Amino acid sequence: MTKNRTLLAILLAVGVAGPNRAQVPGYDSPYTEGTVWGFTFVRVNPGMLWEYVRSLKAEMAPIDEAKKQGLMLSYRIVVADASTPDDWNVVIISEYKDMATLDGFDAKMDAIASKAGFNEQKDKAAVVKRGDLRRLLGSKLGRELLLK
């Protein structure tokens, strides 16, 4: 009797929490998967926006090369008014073909940066300097959904 109740409970749970309809064969999903987007949210200190953007521009060569090689589809910097003192006022957006592109991405970018003349000491100095200009608030990775 206890086994039957346990089996019934499992069957009900599976029925209620069954597979997503988009995973069911024959179900037509309302979207297709698009590119992958990375977002880095930054709070630039008051009066430091120009200096911060200059620091980003100084390191564009590896990003431009990554775009040429197809590792990155696009790279954008968006500036907006912060809603609160702890809100972001700059978001850096990177677009990638798919999640597989991100496998081994850091090693590929390190090789590109090395060819472009960047080295670990220079990178550390730039990171320390940038720390005086801004505060990183976080980052997110998401996939674009293209509605059918």
Model pLDDT for residues 109-122, shown as the tens digit of each residue:
999 999 888 877 76
Q: Work out the average pLDDT over 11-26.
A: 54
Residue 12, pLDDT > 90, answer no
pLDDT band at 8 (very low <50, low <70, confident <90, very high): very low
Residues 6+ apart with CB under 8 A from 141: 36, 37, 38, 39
Model pLDDT for residues 94-111, shown as the tens digit of each residue:
999 999 999 999 999 999
pLDDT for res 7:
44
Structure tokens at 9: 């409970």
Q: pTM of the predicted model, to two decimals?
A: 0.77
Domains of the chain: 29-147 (3.30.70.100)
Q: List 76's β-bridge partners, or say none.
A: 93
For residues 141 and 36, is the Cβ–Cβ distance under 8 A?
yes
Model pLDDT for residues 48-104, shown as the tens digit of each residue:
999 999 999 988 999 999 999 999 999 999 999 999 999 999 999 999 999 999 999
Residues 6+ apart with CB under 8 A from 33: 143, 144, 145, 146
pLDDT for res 81:
96
pLDDT band at 124 (very low <50, low <70, confident <90, very high): confident
